[in-house]
Amino acid sequence: MYNAKAYSATSETSPVSSTIIARRDPTPNDVQIEVLFCGICHSDLHQIRNEWSAMPTVYPCVPGHEILGRVTKTGSAVTRFKTGDLAAVGCLVDSCGVCGECKLSLEQFCQNATLTYNSPDKHTGGVTYGGYSDSIVVDQRFVLKVPSNLDPAGAAPLLCAGITTYSPLHHWGVTTGKKVGIVGLGGLGHMGVKFAHALGAHVVLFTTSPGKKEDAHRLGADEVVVSRNANEMAKHAGSFDFILDAVSADHDINAYLNLLRRDGNLTLIGAPSKPLGVAAFSLVFGRRSLSGSPIGGIAETQEMLDFCGQHNITADVEVIPIQKVNEAYDRLLKSDVKYRFSIDMASLKSE
């Protein structure tokens, strides 16, 4: 084991602050990565505040699953990476490798998958620690290659916000000629707009923030609807093939289900802590469906990164030092970020 610098939360009410954690020395299949940038996902905030009853937080909690860095050491059996390579890690660091889901590279559905943080750590017997740290050690099967043309600070958020939007857009067949709604212009939502636009769909962005209209058009939205305006919403009734809901807080989902056409689908990727109320007739009329989607598998994550390399897509980021992370959380709660915070991990050296 060796000591790594990190930021952790010690309780659901404490801010995150500087600490030292123990990491494993790389085993033969491991890649050790110096973390250069780590995105701030709203999930980090839900998790450190213990807001998800289905995934109770174990403290101390080191969040961070949008990790981009440089390889500093490789185990003897590592073939895909060498020291000095750019490398990335998302929300998963291990899975059983033998179940049906793993065999299909759908590791996100493996019953024994290990999340990047707040998951039982098979190696140490403790809990996994995420990317708010100067380094991380990960099995090579869960380390991604990063196209060299992408800006590293903007590429980090692709590892969660990117794949979480890319995967359901593909699964539900979004392409040219489809009318697609994206709800919420935050970290996930703004990637959803970029991908849906790149796939050729007619993209409508729903926002509670009228001030984001211009940005939404710049990011690729064909239309922008301020969701608090009932008249604007009514104009789109029964017209969408697909809606991706990326909202982090409680909201009326029926208002969006009613905008789907016959057999349309609304997929939830946002994970508010409270259950959402669904009126039966929002689904019954129109044979509509409501589903959810978690991140994506490793092969699809690599496909997404390669797609971003080809189309020069990254997240729009505000780069901050780690010392500003608690302030960033306060701003995230006010929907005040354009559109993802990316932590410059060099700032951790001074701690």
- Interface residues with ligand NAP (CB under 6 A)? 41-43, 46, 160, 164, 184-189, 207-209, 212, 246-249, 251, 269-272, 293-295, 332, 335
Residue 102 interacts, among Zn ion, ligand NAP, none and using kind-specific CB cut-offs from 5 to 8 Å, with: none
Residue 208 interacts, among Zn ion, ligand NAP, none and using kind-specific CB cut-offs from 5 to 8 Å, with: ligand NAP
Residues 32-91 that bind Zn ion (CB under 5 A): 41, 43
Out of 61, 86, 113, 160, name the contact with Zn ion by CB under 5 A: 160
- Of residues 207 and 282, the one with the C-beta less far from ligand NAP: 207
Using CB atoms within 10 Å of the CB of residue 1, give its burial: 0 to 12 exposed, 13 to 18 middle, 19+ buried. exposed
**Strand pairing class (92-94; 86-89):** unpaired
CB of 45 to ligand NAP, least distance (A): 8
- Of residues 223 and 351, the one with the C-beta less far from ligand NAP: 223
**Which residue of the chain is nearest ligand NAP when measured via CB?**
186
- Of residues 24 and 338, the one with the C-beta less far from ligand NAP: 338
Q: Which amino acid appears at position 51 of this protein?
A: E
- Of residues 108 and 282, the one with the C-beta less far from Zn ion: 108
Distance CA 58, CA 10 (A): 9
CA of 123: how far to CAs of 25, 49, 167, in Å?
10, 26, 30
CB of 132 to Zn ion, least distance (A): 13
Q: Which amino acid appears at position 231 of this protein?
A: N
Please list, in sequence order, all residues whose beta carbon lies within 8 angstroms of the beta carbon of residue 315, skipping any fewer than 6 positions away: 39, 154, 155, 156, 157, 158, 161, 162, 187, 190, 191, 339, 340, 342
CB of 164 to Zn ion, least distance (A): 7
Distance CA 198, CA 325 (A): 31
Give yes or no for residue 301 binding Zn ion (CB under 5 A).
no
CB of 106 to ligand NAP, least distance (A): 13
Q: What are phi and psi of 92, to 5 degrees?
A: -120, 140
